[in-house]
Amino acid sequence: MNNLEQQNRIELARSPEAIPGGDIWSERLTEAFEKRARTCRMKSYATYEELVREGIGAKRLLHEGGNSTTQIEQLDGIIREAHDAYAQYSEKIERARGARVKGGEEMKARIESIETEIVNIQKLDLSKEEKQTQVKGKIEELQGLAQELPLSLSQKDTIREVSDRARSAVELQEVQAPLIKGVQSVLKYIESENLLDERDDDLEMWKNRNLVHVEQLKMLYGGRFPDALPAHLGYLLMNMDTRLDQARSMVGRTDTFQFALKRYSTLVNHFGELVEEVTARVEIAMPGMIERVTGLLQEKQRIQGSLIQIKPEQKEVAQNRIDEINKDVAELQGRLRASVEEHVRQLPPPEAELIPHKQAQWGPYLTEEEAKNAIEALFQANLPDTIWLEELGQVKALVEFYQNRKPGLPDEMQQKVDNKIRYFSLKFTLLRDKLIAGNIISEGMAGLDLGPPPEIEELPVEQKNDETIITSEGELESSPQDQEETTQPRMMESPLESEEIGLDEEAQHEPGEVVYVHRPTGERFIIDTTYNHVALPSPPQMMISRERLIASLPIQDLQKPEKVEAAVELLLKRRDEEIRLMKDLITRGPFEVIQEILHMPFSDFENQDQFTSEVGAYMKQEGIKINGKSLKYIHEGITTYLAELGYKATADGRLVGEVLSDGIKFRLST
Amino acid sequence: MVSNGDRYINVLDEAEEEFSSVMDDLQRQMDAVVLAAQTAETERLATEEE
């Protein structure tokens, strides 16, 4: 690089777009501080305002009641103290703000000065090594300043990691670019920190909204809450807790968090509507009753709060009043509870998505149409494709889980499991069709066979005749004869491959049956049909169709070397086909990362840790969100597939395939 | 180690905590005054009835 080029790079680095400077860092700090200050101030002001308002109200009542001026003066004193306390609090906030602004200014000035110093180091008449050492020192200082920002520990770790990467790059004599990237990555994470705050706020908001309704229901339901709640409300409460926990655990993951929040907020809304509905009905059935109970409970709370401060002779009066209130409330709440139970029974059942999975079943509980509507309503959520892909994998895994669990269970359990399988199969089919329609997955890659859903046994005969069974292919089958046909597992149908290997599409193969597959060129392969499909670990893109497996299974009956060559050729073709499919996926968006994987030396696949750290770092750098678990799946998926093709990676990064024929091992190497 | 950034925000939290405890105390005092007034009123009415 000549001087002019170097100068240009430095200038580029100095431009505001290329290298965010200290002012942005300082801005982030300001934002975090102001946000917290605003929240604190609002909360405190609300407390203060409520107290003062209550005090003024009490004064007026005492005045109207002709009470002694002593008590009114006492209230005046309390109100004055509240004014003073709030003024002092405001002052403290202002002082903290002043200190922060000063600190922020200092930090900004220092960061800007470091940038200038780095640029100046480039201009110095020093050896390359000396320049690198100096720049490394500056990066360390930047890293130290980043530690001053109000970030979580994990994000500080990330900053450290980014700086380490920048430092390694410095050692590779690429000074400026990695520094810019490092700083940009740090800023990206700082931004995501702000996002995290917002997400916490979102959850908090929904939680608080929910609490209002929980309290309302608690008041109606009395001391037996929540154990004795009608099942309908009990399930909802339990499910909301689960969803809230899920959403909390996903705060750091953009896509899945949105999904979890959506689910939680839907439940909260639904629960709120139910409680309002029940309250309104109870109100009509028992006018004024809710108000009476609320009033009594408030009075009790007030008395309890004052017990420690009143004179001993007044204590007995207060305690007697509390006892009276308890008695009245118990009696009134007993009547309210009966009314709530009656009205809850009259409400329609919640939609499938709003109740726990163990209830998410049609048959006795929901009709298929209701389940379908509920699932489709869920799809209305405007979420990124990656979430739906993840969901597809999860739903499929659930179906398979229940299918595996079913054998050997008692009859009544089997029926329950059947309901689950039916529900999740429907969800899978609908979701898969949605993804195909949206061009998110290709039909070929979506050819996952779940097997037919179990028949519904618990419905009355007249309903059963009209029942629409949804096959694994997503088709609606309405006649019993058609249903019969779908009980045989169906394979994914890929016209290209079926034609190429001469597979008889009409034939129904029993598991384990030996089947001959003919290629148009005349070769005949013996295959094993034990597997209907090979389900690699999710994500679903890693599913491999039965046909592709068939074509890559060990070839046992080839007698001549030329046939082995043909087999090897086929093997290679299959691998290329798989890569083509992967590339197809890549161009569709969510798994751009595979593109990078495909360019990695295959030896990297052998070490999963190395794989995940390399690919993870790449994705982080590119701003692609993916978690470690998905990376592990991708790794497992690729290695399993390669192994099934008969390939393994060698230490020097080549890919080696082995084919056995008459005891002779034929080797193929990339 | 607490960073400067955390420290600035901790000041806010501490101020809020302190304020909130003062408010709780004032609320208790106010409840006691109101209860005392109510009790006195009840006693006065009872005496009048007698």
What average pLDDT score do residues A338-343 get?
83
Least confident interval from A195-199, A452-456, A549-553: A549-553
CB contact under 8 A, B37 and A71: yes
The answer to whether A621 faces chain B, any CB pair under 8 Å, is: no
Among candidate residues A667, A592, A587, the one with its CA nearest the CA of residue A634:
A592
| Euclidean distance between CA atoms A34 and A36, whole angstroms | 5
Question: Which residue in A93, A149, A314 is closest to B36 by CB distance?
Answer: A314
**pLDDT tens by residue, A359-371:** 344 444 456 776 7
Contact residues for A63 (Cβ-Cβ < 8 A; gap 6+) = A72
- The top-scoring range by mean pLDDT among A38-42, A541-545, A567-571, A576-580 is A38-42
Q: Tell me the pLDDT band of A516, cut-offs 50, 70 and 90.
A: very low
How far is Cα A272 from Cα A351, in angstroms, rounded to an integer? 15
Task: For residue A163, name the pLDDT band (cuts at 50, 70, 90).
Answer: low
Q: Is A37 on the interface with B (CB under 8 A)?
A: yes
- Taking an 8 Å cut-off on Cβ atoms, the answer to whether A29 and B5 are in contact is yes
What's the pLDDT score for residue A489?
27
* Contact criterion met (CB < 8 Å) for A89 and B18: yes
Distance CA A79, CA A81 (A): 5
Say if A40 is an interface residue toward chain B (CB within 8 Å). Answer: yes
Q: Indicate if the pLDDT at residue A352 is higher than 50.
A: no
Percent of chain A with pLDDT over 70: 36
Q: How confident is the prediction for chain A on average, in pLDDT?
A: 59
Of these ranges, A343-352, A492-501, A524-533, A646-655, the one predicted with the greatest mean pLDDT is A343-352
Q: What is the pLDDT of residue A108?
A: 60
Cβ–Cβ of A47/B23 closer than 8 Å? yes
B33 with A303: Cβ contact below 8 A: no
What is residue A140's three-state secondary structure? helix
Mutate to test the interface with A, among B13, B18, B19 (most CBs of A within 10 A): B19
Q: Which of residues 297-316 of A touch B (CB under 8 A)?
A: 302-303, 305-306, 308-311, 314
At A666, the pLDDT band (50, 70, 90 cuts) reads very low
Q: Give CA torsion, residues A323, A328, A333, A335, to 10 deg.
A: 150
- Chain A residues closer than 8 Å to B28 by CB: 305-306, 308-309
Token pair listed for A117: 């110093």
Average pLDDT of A292-302? 85
Residue A381 per-residue DSSP state: S
Q: Strand locations in A294-444, DSSP E?
A: none
- The string of DSSP codes covering A19-41 is S--HHHHHHHHHHHHHHHHHHHH
> Nearest CA of chain A to the CA of B48: how many Å?
15
Which residues does chain A have within 8 Å of residue B32's beta carbon, measured at their own beta carbons? 306, 309-310
User: Of A144, A147, A169, A165, nearest to A156 (Cα)?
Assistant: A147
Q: What is the pTM of this model?
A: 0.32
Minimal Cβ distance to A78: which of B4, B13, B29: B29
CB contacts < 8 A, A to B, total 127
Average pLDDT over residues A463-480: 30
What does the pLDDT read at residue A587? 38
Contact B12 A51 (CB under 8 A): no
Does the beta-carbon distance from A150 to B5 stay under 8 Å? yes
Q: Nearest-CA distance from B46 to chain A in Å? A: 13
Query: For residue A56, what is the nearest residue in chain B, using CA coordinates?
Result: B30
What pLDDT is recorded for position A604?
A: 40
> Measured between CB atoms, which of B8, B13, B33 is closest to A99?
B8
Q: How far is B2 from chain A (nearest CA, A)?
A: 8
A227-231, A474-478, B32-36: which is most confident: B32-36
Task: Give the closest of B3, B26, B34 to A150, CB-based.
Answer: B3
Mean pLDDT of A559-587: 46
Q: Is B45 on the interface with A (CB under 8 A)?
A: no
Which residues in chain B have Cβ-Cβ distances shorter than 8 Å to A65? 37, 41
Q: Which residue of B has its CA nearest to A307?
A: B32
Q: Residues A329-334: what's their mean pLDDT?
A: 87
Residues of A in contact with B5 (CB under 8 A): 29, 32-33, 148-151
A623 — pLDDT class (breaks 50, 70, 90) = low
Nearest-Cα residue of chain A relative to residue B40: A67
Single-letter amino acid code for the residue at A313: E
Which residue in chain B is spatially nearest to A49 when comparing CA positions? B23
Q: Which of A360, A216, A374, A365 is nearest to A280 (CA)?
A: A216
The per-residue pLDDT for A449 is 52
pLDDT for A344 beyond 80: no
Q: Using CB atoms, pick whichever of A44, A81, A100 lies closest to residue B26.
A: A81
Does pLDDT of B31 surpass 80?
A: yes
- The residue of chain A with its CA nearest to that of B44 is A67
Residue B24's pLDDT band, with cuts at 50, 70 and 90, is confident
CA–CA dist A176, A415 (Å, integer): 65
The predicted structure's pLDDT at residue A153: 45
Among A residues 540-569, those touching chain B with beta carbons less than 8 Å apart: none
Predicted local distance difference test score (pLDDT) of residue A31: 65
Distance (Å) from the C-alpha of residue A218 to the closest C-alpha of chain B? 24
- How do residues A599-610 score in pLDDT, each as one tens digit? 443 334 445 565
A636 pLDDT band, cuts 50/70/90, is low
Answer with the residue of higher pLDDT: A355 or A93.
A93
Residue A92 has a pLDDT of: 83
Contact A95, B29 (CB under 8 A): no
Q: How many CA atoms lie within 13 A of A208 on its CB side?
A: 6
Of A62, A82, A149, the CB nearest to B3: A149
Q: Do A51 and B26 touch (CB under 8 A)?
A: yes
Kindly state the DSSP code that residue A352 receives in the 8-state scheme.
G
Cβ contact B16–A44 (<8 Å): yes
Element spanning A514, H or E: strand A514-518
**Partners of residue A25 in chain B, C-beta under 8 Å:** none
| pLDDT tens digits along A282-292 | 888 888 888 88
Contact B35 A78 (CB under 8 A): no
Q: Do B37 and A317 touch (CB under 8 A)?
A: no
Model pLDDT, residue A149: 53
pLDDT band at A246; cut points 50, 70, 90:
confident
- Please answer yes or no on whether B30 and A309 come within 8 Å at the CB atom: no
The residue assigned the tokens 């056995």 is: A660
